[in-house]
Chains A and B, each alone.
Chain A
Amino acid sequence: MKDIALRTGGAAGDGIATIGETFGRFFTRNGYHAFGHTGYQSVIRGGHVWFQARAGTDRVWSQGDGCDLLYALDKQTVDIHAPSLRQGGVLIYDPEKFSVPAEEIPHGVTPLEVPTLAIARKFSSNSILQSAAGMGAAAYVAGVPMETLQGLLTDSFRRKGEEVLAQNLGAAQGGYEHARAHGRVLDRALPPKGGSPKLFLSGNQAISLGAAAAGVKFLAQYPMTPASSIMHWMAAHARALHIVVKQAEDELAAINMAIGASHAGVRSMTATSGGGFSLMVEALGMAGMTETPLVVVESQRSGPSTGLPTKTEQGDLNLMLGAGQGEFPRAILAPGNVVEAFRLTRQAFDLAEAFQTPVLVASDLYLSEDMQSADREDFPLDFDPPSLFTVPEPPSGQNGYARYAITPSGVSPRAIPGQKGLNFIAGSDEHDEKGHLISDVLSGVPMWVEKRKQMMDKRMRKLDGIRAATSPPTVEGSPHPSLLIVGWGSTANPVRDAMRSLEEQGIPVGYLQIHQPWPLHAGRVGEILRAAPKVLLVEENYSGQLGRLIRAETGFEIPAKLLKYDGEPFYPWEIVQKVREVVGRVRSGAGS
């Protein structure tokens, strides 16, 4: 497989995300799958931002290892990223902005000086135009047709008027021509492919899309990286999609508003990161106790406490499993890529409603904010959510309506406020079938002691239902692997790239991705693990939280662990190296 990675970097405010996304679309517009990895810091101006877009002759799943083109908007970018340039790579920069001493250019890398500011000045006094010239040069070096860049710029700037668009197109052409005259096309440039353009989107956009497809009508959220862009997408589309998006005063309000809206009959959600989720914990239990459907997206970042706000981690599994006093049924779904983010978010709403209990969607910064390609068919918009309000009214029975009727499934017929004759009280206190308190004058009285047990059993039975309604995990990759990797969430992406490298090296590997940490399909997971010759746990946390869960649920201890908690996602080479070590095929030096 041949892959190519284009990287850009600069200061916050330089428009690096836009340049990087454009690099990604160089590939996706031409029918290639791509991955876009963003790196930034918790500052608004200044600081260092970078973005890498990668594609390959075969599908790529992660940011990969190293890059082939680096477009540096400041010297710091050269200092940090030039060592990542691979043999045959090209470094693009503007000598008017800074100079790069020859000894700082890695062996085998060609510098390409592009007068981006001078080109920009021909069209406008606005220096932001320099990036159009830079992108033009990058397009030539990456072997991307100028028409692709022209199309992207047209889509971005058309709404800003003819003049702005013409300036951008002119500067881009200037950069492209300069590179054609003074540079060369990368050996790793991908051949023309044809086929439909791919979609290119972030995990948070896919989560939002999944929620919209599931029929979400209410989102309450408080800003927190890396979950905020869910609220941004929803707010931008709220008018067209008839969704109420409420920025709450804090996460306590956000989750309680979502619970209230769900109680009143609309599909509702909230989204946050670990810090905000810590505040939501008490209300999560209320959703469980009042049997209110609720979807909570928990996009993890490096903790503990404020931690590294712009860096990734999978450190909140224990928190999600244990959030809330006492015990109540919940599900935790963990998508690994944008397609799964769409599918599992939609499923989260269905499960929450079917089982009348909270469902968590576990994301992380790496999934939420990085960008991946997908086909349009990966996002089926073929679903009509049921309207709860107009469904036939639940049977009222001889003794009146019992909202919390004890049933074999644990799920009771649900009424919505406004429906006549079905008035009931939803209570966070323990209650009987009709919602009457059994927490004060009845507590401890033998008959009500038994009732308390029945109500607990009723609620907890839903876990069996959720397990039965969802698919056990399967193993992907080699049918006869010499090693099985186990993980969850976004680590699937570098794992998949590592698996291909390992296969090329003659080491067949399987991957068990746990899409549903809770309720875990423990029977199947145990069978798979016991059948594997060797097992390696790959997680982005310090203690191996999924490994601990698997041990608790299956009794299987995974001896080999690759754990990372430095804030950066896994790079494929790290996984390759560890797998070689575990299967006893160590070789000197890293790299794929």
Chain B
Amino acid sequence: MSVAAPVPKPVGPSLKVVYKSSTKPTWCPGCGDYGVVAGVERALQTLQVPPHEVVIVSGIGCSSNLPHFLSTYGFHSIHGRAIPVAEGIKLANHRLHVIVTGGDGDGYGIGLGHLIHAMRRNLDITYVVMNNEIYGLTTGQASPTSVMGHKTKSTPQGVIEEPVNPVALALSAGATYVARGFSGDVKLLSDLVAGGIQHKGFALVDVFSPCVTYNHLNTFDFFRQRVYRLDSAQHDPTDLQKAYQKAHEWGTKIPIGLFYRAEKPTYEDLEEALKEGPLVHQKAGIRGRTEILDEFV
């Protein structure tokens, strides 16, 4: 069975829409995040979603500056809290396409608690994590995904704890779309992001996005020599057990692509208050409803 990443279908009018903003990224030359912003932009182009119907939410870190470089709505929030901000936006107006972008420190360190809960809730949010296995903006400390033995400013003798495995974590937390991209493969990455946006439910797209300044271990070359595409390896993304096996492959061969996809009701589907459409379009207040006071008599 050939199971590729889903081919995204355009959902908006076929216009040439500008998704790039006039703000130029301030990332280091060669930073992996350039590939990611290109991948997100290309996904939006493919889907032709009107920019004003997209909100990109981020936290803090080099990669969290991403919303400034696109022309959609954006919310550049505080460290580790992009997910709950995005959940609030989605619940207030679930017709918006809500995308969260950020780094491994932001998402798998300080913000990890929120991520697990967002995944089990299955809100229709797409989360793109630029995972460079290091803290860049604070000049090179170990991150939650730094591998054992990695020598950094905060771990001069090498890291002595196991890294977070984002894909395995997402599978166990109940994410319904779990993928991994590589900023060295923008085409695949944009397909994975577009697939995540189209997927009804929580999509995690973990992206190897090398830090060229502070991580001399997990470089572009490191990944180029190791990554292989799951769709070329006949992986069935509906098989959770196979997905778990693939999630634990690390070493000379590292899989990228779509690990797992499942159809489940979203949180918005199940939330009674949203049955009559987005909250922001609903009538507010209780004018004249004095019967509400009866319970206090």
Contact = CB atoms under 8 A, between A and B. Distances in A.
Interface of A: 25, 28-29, 197-201, 205, 209, 212-218, 220, 237-239, 241-246, 248-250, 252-254, 256-268, 282-283, 286, 290, 376, 379, 381-385, 387-389, 416-429, 435-437, 440-441
Across the A-B interface, give the 8 residue pairs with the lowest CB-CB distance, nearest first: A260-B88, A215-B284, A264-B92, A256-B84, A425-B74, A257-B88, A261-B88, A260-B85
Contacts, number: 218
A237 B273 CA distance: 11
Contact of B76 (A384, A429, A441): A429
Given A264-B96, A385-B285, A435-B74, 9 more contacts: A200-B297, A253-B117, A260-B92, A261-B279, A263-B75, A381-B287, A421-B52, A422-B52, A425-B67
B81 interface: yes
A488 to B, nearest CB: 25
Contacts of A28: 297
Contact of B73 (A198, A238, A387, A424): A424
Contacts of A253: 81, 83-84, 87, 113-114, 117
Interface in B60-109: 60, 65, 67-68, 71-78, 80-81, 83-93, 95-96
Given A248-B84, A381-B289, A389-B281, A425 B89 contact: no
A418 B293 contact: no
B86 A260 contact: yes
Nearest to B80: A252
Interface centre among B51, B113, B273 (most CB of A within 10 A): B273
Given A417-B96, A437-B65, A246 B77 contact: no
A156 to B, nearest CB: 11
B279 A266 contact: yes
Interface centre among A198, A257, A260, A283 (most CB of B within 10 A): A260
Contact of B93 (A201, A246, A418): A418
A361 B114 CA distance: 26
Given A242-B273, A385-B285, A282 B292 contact: no
Contact of A205 (B53, B80, B96, B296): B296
A404 B288 CA distance: 36
A440 B280 contact: no
Contacts of B85: 256-257, 259-260, 263
Contact of B273 (A200, A243, A254, A258): A243
B274 interface: yes
Contacts of B288: 381-382
A261 B297 contact: no
A423 B85 CA distance: 17
14 contacts: A198-B297, A220-B84, A241-B286, A252-B81, A257-B84, A258-B88, A283-B81, A286-B78, A381-B292, A383-B285, A385-B284, A417-B73, A426-B74, A428-B77
B272 interface: yes
Contact of A425 (B75, B92, B281): B75
A263 B286 contact: no
B72 A423 contact: yes
A440 B64 CA distance: 13
A379 B293 contact: yes
B88 A218 contact: yes
A512 B17 CA distance: 61
Contacts of B53: 418
Given A242-B276, A244-B91, A260 B84 contact: yes
